[in-house]
Amino acid sequence: MHNETAWTASPVATVEIALERIWTVRADPSYRVRRETPHSDELILVRTLSGRGRMEFFGGGGLDLPGETLAAVENPRIAAYWCAAERWNFWWFHVRIGGVPPAPLHHRLAVPRDRRERADCAECFRLLTRPSHAARAQASAVLSAMLYRWLANWRGQRVRPQPHQAAIERVIERMRAARGAPLTVREMAAEAGLGERRFREVFRGLAGKGPKEYYDELRLGTAAELLRMGALSVAQIAERLGYSSPFHFSRAFRERFGAPPSRYRPA
């Protein structure tokens, strides 16, 4: 008989990661992308395998991205990016994070190559193109494992909690529990033990967006999942998530996703 266990006195939860799109790019010096206006509000994970790229931000600043590095950047911040050497081989992931991002934003992290990452990226790519909801959820899970493995291999540096991070994570947990009820910024700030102005600043610095915007996106993301399941009507989902009417829900949904709720229901 063999009986073995592993345990920890302080378990750590992973944040929710929803993968929306993957680009695998092998660029040469002709590769250059410049934006006139900010793009949509996903988080971008850039994993540079070899060569070198350069990214610049609206308002100034930017990042050099040589081989074996990782960067997490808010998509609206990105003004331009290009190949800054003879080549730039990289992966570009569009993701949404359900919580405080586990990687520091707008920094370059030196992460050695992982022998499994190419196979995992290929698996993410394959799963993301499949029509089933379960396969696409699995793609997000594979990327989540890749991200935490990259962070564990981040040149021996530890990802330390940022000031007020525990308080903001507590507020986000309350948001998840209260998706069908109004939740004011004043209530959120009180939960965090901060004044409203300071709370807004800290929340945006950690989560990449304001608390109201985050809560609205959380509710609408839940709505999209419920629509894909197909068990509830638009009116039932609107009521469950605390919208005053199906009309107001449908308008908010269209503004967020660029399509009516009916588009998300299974055929």
Residues 117, 195, single domain; the answer is: no
As a whole number, the mean pLDDT across the chain is 86
Residues 26, 143, single domain; the answer is: yes
For 83-93, the pLDDT digits (tens) are 999 999 999 99
For the purposes of burial, counting CB atoms within 10 Å of the CB of 151, is it exposed (0-12), middle (13-18) or buried (19 or more)?
middle
Residue 210, pLDDT score: 87
For 146-197, the pLDDT digits (tens) are 999 999 888 655 545 567 877 887 888 888 788 777 788 999 999 999 999 9
Distance CA 42, CA 141 (A): 17
What letters, b where the CB count within 10 A reaches 16 and e where it falls short, cover 20-49? eebeeeebeeeeeeeeeeeeeebbbbbbbb
101 in any annotated domain: yes
Residue 10, pLDDT score: 63
Distance CA 154, CA 229 (A): 38
Domain of residue 111: give its range.
Answer: 16-152
Q: Is 144 left (phi over 0), alpha (psi -120 to 50) or beta?
A: alpha
pTM of this prediction exceeds 0.75:
no
Q: Which two tokens stand for residue 239?
A: 């009521």
**Band of pLDDT at residue 54, cut at 50, 70 and 90:** very high
Q: Is the pLDDT of residue 104 over 90?
A: no
For 33-47, the pLDDT digits (tens) are 998 876 667 889 999
Residue 53, pLDDT score: 94
- Among 152, 180, 215, where does a domain finish? 152
CATH number at residue 247: 1.10.10.60
**Which residues contact residue 170 at a Cβ distance below 8 angstroms, ignoring those fewer than 6 apart?**
191, 192
